[in-house]
Amino acid sequence: MHCGSLAPAWLPVLLLLAACGERPAAGGPNVVVLMSDDQSSDTLGCAGHPWLQTPNLDRLAGEGVRFENAFVTTSVCSPARASFLTGLYVRGHGVQDNTSPLPADVTNVAELFGAAGWDTAYFGKWHMGEQVDRPGFAHSWSYLDQGAYTGSEFHVDGTSHGLAPEGFVDDITTSFAVRWLRKRHGRPFFAWIGFKAAHGPREPKPELAHLYEGVETPTPASVGALPPYPRPGELERLAQAAGVHRRKYVPDDDWAAGVEREIKDEGAFTEGSMLDYTRLIAGMDQNIGQLLAALDEIGLAENTIVVFVSDNGYLHGQHGSNGKRAAYEESLRVPFLLRWPAGVPAGQVRDELALNVDLAPTLLDLAGLPVPGSMQGRSLRGLLEGGETEWRKDFLSEYYRYGFWRHSYYAIPTYFAVRTERAKLVTYPGHPGWEEYFDLEHDPLEMHNLVGDPGSAAAVAALRERLGVLERELGPRLDPER
């Protein structure tokens, strides 16, 4: 049984209130959650990106709060999205890969808002397998799996048949959302809008195809600080040399001894792909401008909580890698903005550790709704209002490989890590020789693994112990071989 199904005893009360017409939502804030895909935490103008301009996201940050140290607890699409929705770690909600639907028995934040009287709707990318329904949302205009930048079929309200309007997918998603926001709802609303940008294959809309042309993209300083496990491509070559099919090949801890490793992995990071990545984000920023303008025009901006997040970060050559899933900073860190003019002081930049599992309890708390005791995240309200004095100093990150090294693209092994304000320990079950420890205060780019450094032995031991404490608090691990 999932953790989220253990504490719905109070949910029938909210359902009864809604059925009887007693709506706790009366006068409550509207909520709009905006989610990008695979967006690095630094790809915002307000975060200091050297060429990308994001005036509308910068506006959100200036009129609200930007969390500089926001993280996902699992850096892969579907598991992270489920955590944003449920306030649970992967071991709590059970979505451990990109083919799993959100379980019906796991309570999510939209369900709670709907039960309390909010009108709820989902738009755009959902990306939890081939799931057609959008649990907890009364309305939806959404496509299956990854979709495509052009030609995506939108399913309306969970029906099996869909619409395939012409145009760029994020533009279509935005038009559906703007049209719905302009309706007379008669009650507060809760809307979730998922953009495909900036996920691959990177195909910006034609009018932005030459944006930033001529910009030189720098090579990351950590490009040669390679991970301890074989990356895609390396795994195939090792398996071939050993005469073992890649799906059955498991490398030894010292596999890299005497091996001359190439810097780039199979998903070669190029200047062109990086520019298309920022072009996609620039196009998404334009769509966010339309959504913010709609809220202004209908007079709802003041009492609408607007959140912008990404489902995970992304490695653009850092550690010789291209993608996410890894426990490195670029993979785990995400942009996180929140604006609510009526309730949250503007212009804040917070440096506390904020997590994707915090979003659901935060929205419930800001709206005056009870936060289920089963949620493993924590409301950020105290930080937003400036009254919180005690906050987390560390958190657990977990990743479950897709089967037993069954495909080279998912070669990143299962890991469990603890990230504190100043350091990080990454453990790989079955591979103690791959353990990594980074002093983030002196090595923020994670270029020097100090596990074997005698001067770091006490710190490593303390983090191993702390990892065990966090895991006991969160409950048992899932089975990566399921």
- pLDDT per residue as tens digits for the range 240-282: 989 998 878 889 999 999 888 988 765 557 778 899 999 999 9
Predicted pLDDT at 268: 58
**Among the listed residues 29, 57, 47, 45, the one whose alpha carbon sits nearest the alpha carbon of residue 287:** 57
**Is residue 227 domain-resident?**
no
- The rounded distance, in Å, linking the Cα atoms of 386 and 296 is 26
- The rounded distance, in Å, linking the Cα atoms of 438 and 332 is 15
Helix, strand, or coil here: 339?
A: strand
- The rounded distance, in Å, linking the Cα atoms of 425 and 121 is 39
- pLDDT per residue as tens digits for the range 358-368: 999 999 999 99
- The rounded distance, in Å, linking the Cα atoms of 23 and 114 is 10
25 pLDDT tier (thresholds 50, 70, 90): low
Please compute the mean of the pLDDT values over residues 101-129 and round it to a whole number.
Answer: 94
Q: Is the pLDDT higher at 445 or at 24? A: 445
Predicted pLDDT at 436: 98
> What's at 408, amino acid-wise?
S
The region of weakest confidence among 15-24, 40-49, 165-174 is 15-24
**Is residue 232 domain-resident?**
no
Report the half-sphere exposure of 312 (CA within 13 A, side-chain side).
Answer: 26
Has residue 35 got a pLDDT over 70? yes
**Which residue is it, tokens 């790809």?**
43
Predicted pLDDT at 137: 96
> What's at 442, amino acid-wise?
H
Strand partners, 425: 418, 437
- DSSP tag of 379: -
- pLDDT per residue as tens digits for the range 49-72: 999 999 999 999 999 999 999 999
Of the chain, the percentage scoring pLDDT greater than 90 comes to 75
- Contacts of residue 218, defined as CB under 8 A and 6 or more positions apart, other chains included, come to none
Predicted pLDDT at 266: 55
**Is residue 230 domain-resident?**
no
CATH number at 279 reads: 3.40.720.10
- Contacts of residue 404, defined as CB under 8 A and 6 or more positions apart, other chains included, come to 247, 248, 250, 481
Please compute the mean of the pLDDT values over residues 197-210 and round it to a whole number.
Answer: 95
Please compute the mean of the pLDDT values over residues 19-36 and round it to a whole number.
Answer: 73
Please compute the mean of the pLDDT values over residues 75-80 and round it to a whole number.
Answer: 95
- pLDDT per residue as tens digits for the range 406-465: 555 567 899 999 999 999 999 999 999 999 999 999 999 999 999 999 999 999 999 999
* Mean pLDDT estimate for the chain: 90
Predicted pLDDT at 163: 83
Predicted pLDDT at 46: 97
26 pLDDT tier (thresholds 50, 70, 90): low
Range of the domain at 144: 3-213+268-389
**Is residue 344 domain-resident?**
yes
Please compute the mean of the pLDDT values over residues 67-89 and round it to a whole number.
Answer: 97
Has residue 23 got a pLDDT over 60? no
**Is residue 82 domain-resident?**
yes
- The rounded distance, in Å, linking the Cα atoms of 340 and 31 is 9
- The rounded distance, in Å, linking the Cα atoms of 388 and 379 is 10
- pLDDT per residue as tens digits for the range 371-400: 999 999 999 999 999 877 799 999 999 999
Total number of domains in the chain: 1
Task: Give CA angle at 274 (177, 331), nearest 5°.
Answer: 75
Has residue 284 got a pLDDT over 60? yes
Of the chain, the percentage scoring pLDDT greater than 70 comes to 91
250: its two tokens: 């498991």
- The rounded distance, in Å, linking the Cα atoms of 1 and 236 is 37
8 A C-beta contact, residue 295 and residue 302:
no
**Is residue 155 domain-resident?**
yes
Alpha helices in 208-300 (DSSP H): 234-242, 271-297
Predicted pLDDT at 16: 39
- The rounded distance, in Å, linking the Cα atoms of 363 and 345 is 16
Q: Is the pLDDT higher at 409 or at 477? A: 477
Task: Give CA angle at 109 (104, 114), nearest 5°.
Answer: 90
Task: Give CA angle at 14 (11, 20), nearest 5°.
Answer: 140
**Which residue is it, tokens 């691959």?**
200
